[in-house]
Structure 1
Amino acid sequence: MATADTIRTILAQHGKLPVDAATLNEDSDLYAAGLSSFASVQLMLAIEEEFDIEFPENLLNRKTFSTIATIVEVVTELSKDQQAA
């Protein structure tokens, strides 16, 4: 199950942010906080590995990785879809 704390931990390890991920609100703009396009790919790969999911092409965009809350929502949905399959 994806939680904000889990995503924050992955973000801290792979997001290469200039700020401490623990200080970010769930609705903080991750790109404004320093998330680069390259780091967002690293973040996506780490999330896929952690939750054993795969992001479909239509979700590989800036909006999907814009906030911790959005990532939790998307990962939760993908996990449900994975379990139903």
Structure 2
Amino acid sequence: MSSTEAIREILASHGKLPVDVASLADDADLYAAGLSSFASVQLMLAIEDRFDIEFPENRLNRKTFASIAAISTAVDEITAAQRAA
């Protein structure tokens, strides 16, 4: 399973979106789709648990969680950085 597919699953279970996650494009604005700040924190925690990563402080912003593509990019970059460390 790709990181994007896993993020979609997590978003579906933790994002509390009023729309079907499957209907969203990877670059769709999740906040425009109904993602709340509280749900974004729940999403972040679930992603950290699933991928065994920790979002660094500089990634804890709206831009990181703006879309499935943005989240996937962040997860891939954090995973690579943690493996290299």
Is TM more than 0.5 here?
yes
Q: Whole-Å Cα distance in 2 between the matches of residues 6 and 70 of structure 1?
A: 14
Q: % of aligned pairs identical?
A: 68
1:57 matched to 2:57? The reply is yes
Q: For the Cα contact (< 8 Å) 1:12–1:21, is it kept in 2?
A: yes
Unmatched segments (≥5 aa) in structure 2: none
Structure 1, unmatched stretches of 5+, are none
Alpha carbon RMSD of aligned pairs, Å? 1.1
Aligned pairs, number: 85
For residues 38 and 24 of structure 2, the distance between their equivalents in structure 1, rounded to whole angstroms, comes to 20
Distance 1:32 1:77 in 2: 25
Deviation >6 Å, runs of 4+: none
1:13-28 mapped onto 2 (5 Å cutoff): 13-28=13-28
Cα distance in 1 for residues equivalent to 2:84 and 2:26: 27
| Higher deviation after alignment, 73-82 or 2-11 | 2-11
On the 8 A contact 1:17/1:35 being kept in 2, the answer is yes
Deviation at 1:37, TM superposition (A): 0.1
